[in-house]
Homo-oligomer: A and B are copies of this chain.
Amino acid sequence: MHKIGKQTICFDNPPTILEAASIVGPKEADGPMAKYFDKCLDDEFWGEKSWEKAESKIIRETVNLVVAKSGISNTDIDYCFAGDLLNQCISSDFGLRDTNVPFFGVFGACSTFAESMCLGSVFVEGGAANNVICATSSHFCSAEKQFRFPLELGNQRPQTSQWTVTGSGAVILSKNGDGPYITNITPGKIVDMGIKDANNMGAAMAPAALDTLVTHLQDTGRKPSYYDAIITGDLGHIGKDILSEMIQTKGYNINGNYNDCGVLIFYL
């Protein structure tokens, strides 16, 4: 691998995404992406006594599922990179403590999954691993308690507030495979424009997404049209519109091929 431009890593032998798995909650199952998830749950608890325990179960079962689907053994997984939104990454730690795979805890909020895939692909391409798991989870109910108000309070939600996904995604990255490949990564900077409204996270996160995307395009010398799809993690409707508008001031137009996960999962 080698670095190009300001902050992009280019892989000479791109790691392959060997397998992927996802389990989601009931609201996600009502959305337009439902058919792409491996499993949709009927309720937010999945038989557990707390939201946090449910979240742990969701990430555990998602990781078990991705390993089962891949056909390789747990003992062939070299390292696991995982994190979530809760204190001390407890849903990942508790959910994955029985995997017996060396563990790297990651915290990047909405970028945790992308961050874990960045780290995992550097390990695989660098020769430190043949197979790694990258996983993350979130849960609407545990996230509301963590970041805003416990649901029992019955607070009203402003229209700018996003809906945290209840679910987990996991992939196995491998040295050998037929793709899809991870060819470049552009790790982002902390960009804080001073948005302090916990009910408007899209506006808070959009400037960082803008900075990373523009840097990626500059580093690679590509135009947005090079890509079939440009996807952000979870800016929601408002953050998505802010990013689309702000990037035009930088001379790029992404309206034709840009979308956002939060928008895709819940609406379309």
Contact = CB atoms under 8 A, between A and B. Distances in A.
A102 B1 contact: no
Nearest to A189: B102
- Interface range on chain A (Cβ under 8 Å from partner): 35 or more
A52 interface: no
A128 B87 CA distance: 30
Interface string A79-121: 1000101011100010011011111111111000001001100
A168 to B, nearest CB: 17
Contacts of A187: 79, 102-104
Copies of this chain in the oligomer = 2
A54 to B, nearest CB: 19
Contacts of A118: 104
B103 A189 contact: yes
Contacts of A83: 107
Contact of A104 (B79, B89, B108, B126): B108
A133 interface: no
Interface of A: 1-3, 7, 9, 78-79, 83, 85, 87-89, 93, 96-97, 99-109, 115, 118-119, 122-123, 125-130, 146, 187-192
10 contacts: A1-B128, A3-B129, A3-B130, A7-B78, A7-B102, A102-B188, A103-B190, A104-B106, A104-B118, A106-B106
